[in-house]
A = this chain, B = another copy of it.
C-alpha cells in the first residue's frame, strides 16, 4: 500500500472510530436528558453517528481494508479525548456534539480536498447527512438565551472542547503523519505554515459558530 493509500485508510480509520465512540458517548448521555423528548433527540444524534460509522466501515471494507485494524491506531487518543471531555449534563453533551461534529467535519473536508474523487465523495455524503447542526443550533440557542449562567458555563466548555480537539488532532497528525508531506507540497517549513493555516481556519470557523449562539469563543 502506497503512502497516500495508507493516508486514506488512516483518515477513514480515525473517522470510523470517532463516530463509533461518539455514538456510544452520546447514547449513554441521553439518559440524563431533561425530558423524554430530549432523550429521543439525543438518541437520534447518536444513531446518526452510528450510521456514519457504518458508511465509513462499508467503504473501508470495499477497499479491502479490515475496519478494526484501521480504527485501532486511533482508539487510545480518541478514548482519552472523551475521558478529558466528559459532559456534566445534557447541555454539555449537546454542545459537545455540536462543536466536535462541526470541527471534525471541517477537518475532514480540508483533508479531502487533497484526495481522490471517491474519498471526497464519501466525505461529502457524510457531511450532507450530518446536518445535525441544523437541529442542535436552535435548541442550544433557545436554552442559552433563557439562562445567562448556562451561557457562561457553555462558553467555557466550548473553549475547552475546541482546545482539546485541536491538541488531539495535532497529536494524531504528528503520530500518523497526517499533515505531513503526504498532503502538502513544498519544504518542511511550508508544511508547518500550511498546518498552522489549517488550524487557524478551524479555529475561526469555531468562533463563528460560537458567535452565532451568542457566545464568546
Contact = CB atoms under 8 A, between A and B. Distances in A.
Interface of A: 17, 20, 23-24, 27-28, 30-31, 35-37, 39-40, 43-44, 46-47, 50-51, 53-54, 57, 67-68, 71-72, 75
A174 to B, nearest CB: 24
A15 B40 CA distance: 14
A24 B24 contact: no
Contacts of A44: 50, 54
In the complex, the 4 A-B pairs of residues with the closest C-beta atoms, listed nearest first:
A27-B27, A28-B28, A36-B68, A47-B50
Given A27-B27, A28-B27, A28-B28, A20 B37 contact: no
Contacts of A40: 20, 53, 57, 67
Contacts of A17: 36
A67 B163 CA distance: 39
Contacts of A67: 36-37, 40
B35 A24 contact: no
B20 A24 contact: no
B47 A20 contact: no
A68 B37 contact: yes
26 contacts: A17-B36, A20-B36, A20-B39, A20-B40, A20-B43, A23-B43, A24-B27, A24-B30, A24-B39, A24-B43, A27-B46, A28-B31, A35-B68, A36-B67, A36-B72, A36-B75, A37-B67, A37-B68, A40-B57, A40-B67, A43-B53, A44-B50, A44-B54, A46-B50, A47-B47, A47-B51
Contacts of A31: 24, 28
Contacts of A43: 20, 23-24, 50, 53
